[in-house]
Amino acid sequence: MASENEDLDKEFEEWKIEHVCAFTGKEYKSEEEEAKRKTIWLQSRNFVIEHNKKYDQGETTFTCGMNHMSDLEPHEICCGGRRKCHKEKTES
């Protein structure tokens, strides 16, 4: 039986095929970048799961889902989903 980590690894790989490679035509440039993006993706995934639990309980009126921006930081999304922004985040 696969472990939770193996299941998450498989889910991340499937998400990358659908959203990173297919949408942007790119792959991560290094193992370090992929690890960073996977951490962000996991945070996004957890947010979606928790939010949708609230929807199921009638606490919110809409559901959330994963998309091509699920591995981006908030300031990257503000730049239209580009991984490199003209003006990088300057605040901590």
Q: Is residue 85 domain-resident? A: no
Range of the domain at 12: 4-77
Q: Is residue 87 domain-resident? A: no
Residue 15 burial (CB count, 10 A): 19
How far from 91 is each of 12, 60, 72, 82, 88, CA to CA, in Å?
29, 31, 17, 19, 9
Per the listing, tokens 């980590």 go with 5
Q: Is residue 69 domain-resident? A: yes
The confidence score (pLDDT) of residue 11 equals 94
Q: What is the CATH number of the domain that holds 22?
A: 1.10.287.2250
Counting the structural domains of the chain, the total is 1
Q: Is residue 91 domain-resident? A: no
CA 15 to centroid of chain Cα atoms? 9
**pTM confidence score:** 0.78
**What radius of gyration do the chain's Cα atoms show?**
15
The confidence score (pLDDT) of residue 83 equals 53
Q: Is residue 28 domain-resident? A: yes
Each residue's pLDDT, cut to its tens digit, for the chain (92 residues) gives 568 899 999 999 999 888 877 666 667 889 999 999 999 999 999 999 999 999 999 999 999 999 988 998 888 887 655 555 544 444 44
